């Protein structure tokens, strides 16, 4: 008997996750599995019977990975119970499975073990292990404040401006505030937010919540501490803030200009409403997924520009997806250094370590490979054009949720690919790859250098 127990313990120890990233991957997978089971319960679906496994799995993955892509109409297909489950999955996914579990440990036990500290540090990307408790509590405070403020503004607008009852208006406010801060893009209207395209009291609070969530918690923490002292900001904060402003402005100008005279999108709106709609879509392309115009009717060049915005994404360690502004920013500065003939990559007066070069290049190459592979596969099994397929794949990988309306029409095999893209995009290619590695291999020797011809 003792030998059997010893064998079991040995097997468990040998096959248990060794790398923190592995635990995070398993945590997200477990949350998706639980959400799938809950959404398959007949009471979660409107009408007779329950949701199919693929419908439940796709919706649960989209919610946990805070994407927003759907294969069924959220307000009509799911009951109030199902919508609550989706909202809970969004909140858990946005906050981070390991962060959420560790925060519960802080609140209940008032202490964290070293293992929990390491796991949470990886998920929140905090710079040290000693401040994890304060980081988690700070994340909770920011989450509650932003979501509560957004819910109040939206609920008041739905109640006073559109005649919803107090309870329904409050529910609409809460659901869309959580969905916006977590950059999820789930909406309780069949046309998403197209019906509110010209309403600044709906579009602006959602946009602000999306932008705040997309900045990333390290940036928010630093702004809270040193808002009046920009010279104290770290490189990460400067890159995220400057990149966010640049992408928001350029995206707004480009989308508004291209769609200005398109009668199917902005052409029938008043000038101020067109600018609002252009800004809203520029902000949403940064991984939020709400839409106030129908992307099936936009110009192909708008789709391509939105692909680029989605692929870049928002700030690291936040609720946004994509490759992150910092990754693209590092590549831009590397390119500038090479073109200008510099020897070291300097960003805002600080030198960038070479390990950051390799990490940024690796992330981009892995992401491009995944997107191209998924796009080619979907082109083989569907009749949709390249622009729509690429838009769908980038939206899934960048955990955005914008769509031209083809998600439900993609065959089951294609929807499975989108599920994998959402999962990989939420966790990050490098994190996913490191989770699959059993152990790191120490370098015991180096090969001699040799330079190939470039270009």
Please work out, in degrees rounded to the nearest 5, the angle formed at the alpha carbon of residue 91 by the alpha carbons of 88 and 95. 145
Residue 450 lies in a domain: no
Residue 10 lies in a domain: no
Number of domains in the chain: 1
pLDDT at 396: 96
pLDDT at 108: 45
Residue 3 lies in a domain: no
Whole-model pTM above 0.85? yes
Confidence label for 437 from pLDDT (cuts 50, 70 and 90): very low
Confidence label for 358 from pLDDT (cuts 50, 70 and 90): confident
Confidence label for 7 from pLDDT (cuts 50, 70 and 90): low
Least confident of 137-151, 327-341, 406-420, 425-439: 425-439
The answer on pLDDT for 352 being more than 50 is yes
- The torsion angles phi and psi of 351, rounded to 5 degrees, stand at -85, 135
Are the CB atoms for 133 and 112 separated by under 8 Å?
yes
pLDDT at 3: 57
- The torsion angles phi and psi of 346, rounded to 5 degrees, stand at -110, 130
Distances (CA, A) of 323 to 201, 314, 361, 374: 31, 8, 11, 17
Confidence label for 40 from pLDDT (cuts 50, 70 and 90): very high
Residue 280 lies in a domain: yes
For residue 177, give its domain range.
18-435
Residue 133 lies in a domain: yes
Are the CB atoms for 365 and 392 separated by under 8 Å?
no
User: What is the per-residue pLDDT across 211-249, written as a single tens digit (0 to 9) for each?
Assistant: 999 898 888 888 888 888 888 888 889 999 999 999 999
Average pLDDT rounded to a whole number, residues 208-213: 94
Residue 426 lies in a domain: yes
Residue 452 lies in a domain: no
Residue 126 lies in a domain: yes
- Please state, as a whole number, how many other Cβ atoms lie within 10 Å of the Cβ of residue 373: 13
- Please state, as a whole number, how many other Cβ atoms lie within 10 Å of the Cβ of residue 119: 26
């Amino acid at each position: 008997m003792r030998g059997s127990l010893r064998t079991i313990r040995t097997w468990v120890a040998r096959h248990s996750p060794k790398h923190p990233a592995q635990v995070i991957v398993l945590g997200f997978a477990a949350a998706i599995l639980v959400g799938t089971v809950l959404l398959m319960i007949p009471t979660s679906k409107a009408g007779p019977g329950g949701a199919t496994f693929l419908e439940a799995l796709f919706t649960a993955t989209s919610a946990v990975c805070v994407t927003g892509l759907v294969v069924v109409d959220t307000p009509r297909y799911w009951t109030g119970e199902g919508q609550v489950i989706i909202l809970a999955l969004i909140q858990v996914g946005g906050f981070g499975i390991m962060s959420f579990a560790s925060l519960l440990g802080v609140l209940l036990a008032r202490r964290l073990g070293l293992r929990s500290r390491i796991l949470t540090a990886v998920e929140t990307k905090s710079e040290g292990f000693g401040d994890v408790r304060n980081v988690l509590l700070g994340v909770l405070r920011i989450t509650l404040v932003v979501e509560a403020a957004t819910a109040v503004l939206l609920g008041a607008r739905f109640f006073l401006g559109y005649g919803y009852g107090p309870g329904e208006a409050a529910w609409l406010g809460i659901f869309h505030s959580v969905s916006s801060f977590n950059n999820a893009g789930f909406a309780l209207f069949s046309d998403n937010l197209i019906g509110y395209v010209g309403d600044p009291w709906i579009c602006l609070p959602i946009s602000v919540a999306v932008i705040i969530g997309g900045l990333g918690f390290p940036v928010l923490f630093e702004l809270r501490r040193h808002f009046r002292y920009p010279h104290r900001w770290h490189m990460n904060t400067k890159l995220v803030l400057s990149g966010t402003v640049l992408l928001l402005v350029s995206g707004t100008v480009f989308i508004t200009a291209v769609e200005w005279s398109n009668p199917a999108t902005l052409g029938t709106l008043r000038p101020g409403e067109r600018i609002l709609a252009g800004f809203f879509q520029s902000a949403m392309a940064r991984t939020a997924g709400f839409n106030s115009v129908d992307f099936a009717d936009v110009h192909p060049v708008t789709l391509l520009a939105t692909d680029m915005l989605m692929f870049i994404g928002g700030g690291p360690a936040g609720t946004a997806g994509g490759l992150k502004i910092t990754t693209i920013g590092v590549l831009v500065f590397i390119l500038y250094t090479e073109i200008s003939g510099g020897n070291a990559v300097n960003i805002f007066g600080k030198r960038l370590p070479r390990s950051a070069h390799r990490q940024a290049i690796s992330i981009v190459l892995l992401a491009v490979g995944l997107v191209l592979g998924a796009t080619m596969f979907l082109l083989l099994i569907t009749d949709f054009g390249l622009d729509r397929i690429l838009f769908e794949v980038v939206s899934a990988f960048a955990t955005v949720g914008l769509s031209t309306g083809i998600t439900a029409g993609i065959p089951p095999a294609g929807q499975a690919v989108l599920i994998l893209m959402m999962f990989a995009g939420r966790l990050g290619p490098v994190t996913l790859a490191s989770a699959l590695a059993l152990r790191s291999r120490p370098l015991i020797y180096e090969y001699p250098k040799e330079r190939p011809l470039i270009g």
